[in-house]
Amino acid sequence: MNSKIRVRFAPSPTGFLHVGGLRTALYNYLFARHHGGKFILRIEDTDQARRVEGAMENLMATLGWAGVQYDEGPDRDGGHGPYIQSQRLELYRAHAAELVAKGKAYYCFCAPERLEDLRQRQSAAKERISYDRHCRDLAMSEVEKLLAQGGRSVIRMKVPLEGAVVFQDLIRGEVSIANEVLDDQVLLKSDGFPTYHLAVVVDDHHMGISHVIRGEEWLPSTPKHVLLYQYFGWELPHFAHLPLLLNPDKSKLSKRQGDVAVEDYRAKGYLKEAIINFIAFLGWNPGDERDILSMDELIKEFSLERVGKSGAVFNVEKLDWLNFQHLRKKPDAEVLSMLKEYLAGSPFAGKHFDDQYLMIIIGAMRERATFVQDFVEKCGYFYQAPDQYEPDVVKKRWKPETPDQMKILAEEFSRLENPKKEDYESALHRVAETLKIKQSDLIHPLRLAVSGMGAGPGLYDILIVLGKEETIRRIRSAMERVK
């Protein structure tokens, strides 16, 4: 069956790629790759009013950045195109006409005012909002007359009045919906564009889609789709509806509680490896202890059987942790090039730093960096001498006698030749002993003097990065400036 596996991601180009959209795309991609099938990108732009200029290009670029590569799509022909629905209008019109001819759909001439009126009456009476099937049984001659007059019309599907639609969902099991709760859905709008329901069925069939993997919000539409497959006499694809994404408070994931556009996370410096890993676990897990997986490992492990039914909580702290883990796994050379790229857009852009110098910073900061920018922002003192000193730390650690002690320490340091960490350490011990003070009375002020801060990587690591001359310069400068 492998070569027959064909899945698709079918976004509407209405804005940025949502994290939920990336989850759908990723699961389709992983499923296709796992089975050696094909992954298709189809653009569903039949709602022209909601179309946003540039959204399609943006979507394609974001998928590309994330490494979710499609085999067929608007810019990758696979013999099933076009892959943009607005370029397939004739096909939808022909299929709508076919359903009318088969008695499975009908023309509806109801004016928008009448429908609005109906909606208001139903809503006032607390009834289910649905079309009252006013035009469902118009005589053929009447339909022809109205069509000849060129009046505004739509085509609606004829939902059976009795019975139920039953289908299997790979995640939710058997789903059964009574036909009486289904509306006579519009299939073709008066502007000649199909609705989502007609287009999605026609395309999934003609593009040979074997598995429809999409968000749970589409589950209520599926019975209508199943009926359409039956009307056309087409084989049903497999359906798999993915669980909802939730905010930590279990409400539906929304913008109000944080970013939902993949781009926002990218702009904040999240690595694609971390985002992919994180998104993959929103509704799925490999069934063992592992939680740090690469794309290749995800492809190997992914299965729809392990996708859960219950909503998946979007927890940004987990994403941060994964970013830290994936950043830590990267080779130094890669971190170096990311750091240089970041520096080029930072306030330090004009200054030159040797690769060797940056490498030492990377070594000192690795265990403290969640993001590449942390190699700069959490330790600006490696790039420029501190111009201020944390007031709390000054208050607690910088005593009236500290400047004199720092002076002696600087003198002791100046006698060292090519000092290593241990040399600084024993020099500090000697001074503490001579002055009969605790080492910590020197260590804390020294950290403050060289970094301006009270915490950071190992103190002697900082001294190694800065070098002896700069260390002494900073101690002297602090002696004058810290008050």
Separation between Cα atoms, residue 310 and residue 52, nearest integer Å: 32
Q: Looking at beta carbons only, is 199 or 246 nearer to ligand GLU?
A: 199
Q: Looking at beta carbons only, is 218 or 321 nearer to ligand GLU?
A: 218
Q: Quick one: which of 6, 11, 302, 447 contacts ligand GLU (CB under 6 A)?
A: 11
Whether 255 sits among the annotated catalytic residues: the reply is yes
Q: Is 210 in the site for ligand GLU (CB under 6 A)?
A: no
Q: Which of 255, 268, 351, 396 is catalytic?
A: 255
Tell the smallest beta-carbon distance from residue 214 to ligand GLU (Å).
4
Instruction: Give me the residue label for tokens 């001819």.
Output: 101
Q: Quick one: which of 7, 66, 135, 200 contacts ligand GLU (CB under 6 A)?
A: 200
| Binding window for ligand GLU (CB under 6 A); candidates: 6-14, 279-287, 427-435, 459-467 | 6-14
Contact (Cβ atoms closer than 8 angstroms) between residue 198 and residue 188: yes
* All residues at 6 or more sequence positions from 225 whose CB lies less than 8 Å from its CB, including other chains: 197, 200, 201
Q: Looking at beta carbons only, is 55 or 155 nearer to ligand GLU?
A: 55
Tell the smallest beta-carbon distance from residue 278 to ligand GLU (Å).
21
Q: Is 88 in the site for ligand GLU (CB under 6 A)?
A: no
Tell the smallest beta-carbon distance from residue 8 to ligand GLU (Å).
7
Q: Is 207 in the site for ligand GLU (CB under 6 A)?
A: no
| Binding window for ligand GLU (CB under 6 A); candidates: 7-15, 95-103, 346-354, 396-404 | 7-15
Q: Looking at beta carbons only, is 28 or 471 nearer to ligand GLU?
A: 28
Tell the smallest beta-carbon distance from residue 101 to ligand GLU (Å).
26
Contact (Cβ atoms closer than 8 angstroms) between residue 279 and residue 260: no
Secondary structure (DSSP) of 137-186: T--HHHHHHHHHTT---EEEE---SSSEEEEEETTTEEEEEEGGGS---E
| Binding window for ligand GLU (CB under 6 A); candidates: 9-17, 67-75, 262-270, 436-444 | 9-17
E strand segments, 387-469? none
Q: Is 19 in the site for ligand GLU (CB under 6 A)?
A: no
| Binding window for ligand GLU (CB under 6 A); candidates: 4-12, 26-34, 106-114, 462-470 | 4-12
Tell the smallest beta-carbon distance from residue 200 to ligand GLU (Å).
5
| Tally of CB atoms within 10 A around 203 | 22
Q: Is 202 in the site for ligand GLU (CB under 6 A)?
A: no
Residues 245-284 close enough to bind ligand GLU by CB under 6 A: none
Tell the smallest beta-carbon distance from residue 239 to ligand GLU (Å).
10
Q: Looking at beta carbons only, is 59 or 322 nearer to ligand GLU?
A: 59
Q: Is 44 in the site for ligand GLU (CB under 6 A)?
A: yes
| Tally of CB atoms within 10 A around 169 | 17
Residue 270 has φ and ψ, to the nearest 5°, of: -70, 145
Q: Looking at beta carbons only, is 10 or 464 nearer to ligand GLU?
A: 10
Separation between Cα atoms, residue 160 and residue 156, nearest integer Å: 12
Tokens of 314: 């979007």
- Using omega within 30 degrees of 0 as the cis cutoff, is the peptide bond preceding 419 cis? no
x/- mask, ligand GLU, residues 211-250, rule CB under 6 A, reads ---x---x--------------------------------
Q: Quick one: which of 10, 358, 427, 482 contacts ligand GLU (CB under 6 A)?
A: 10
Q: In what order do the strands lie in the sheet with 6-9?
A: 38-41, 6-9, 211-215, 238-242, 164-169, 173-178
Q: Hey, what long-range contacts does 273-278 have (CB within 8 A, 24 or more apart)?
A: 273/326, 274/319, 274/322, 274/323, 274/325, 274/326, 274/327, 275/22, 275/66, 275/319, 276/26, 276/66, 276/67, 276/68, 277/322, 277/326, 278/318, 278/319, 278/322
Q: Quick one: which of 5, 12, 74, 198 contacts ligand GLU (CB under 6 A)?
A: 12
Residue 344: in which H helix or E strand, if any?
helix 332-344
Contact (Cβ atoms closer than 8 angstroms) between residue 348 and residue 383: yes
* All residues at 6 or more sequence positions from 185 whose CB lies less than 8 Å from its CB, including other chains: 156, 157, 159, 195, 197, 224
Tell the smallest beta-carbon distance from residue 305 to ligand GLU (Å).
20
Size of the residue set binding ligand GLU (CB under 6 A): 8
Which three-class secondary structure state does DSSP give residue 75? coil
Tell the smallest beta-carbon distance from residue 196 to ligand GLU (Å).
6
Half-sphere exposure of 427 (CA within 13 A, CB side): 23
- Residues near ligand GLU (CB under 6 A): 10-12, 44, 196, 200, 214, 218
Catalytic residues: 255
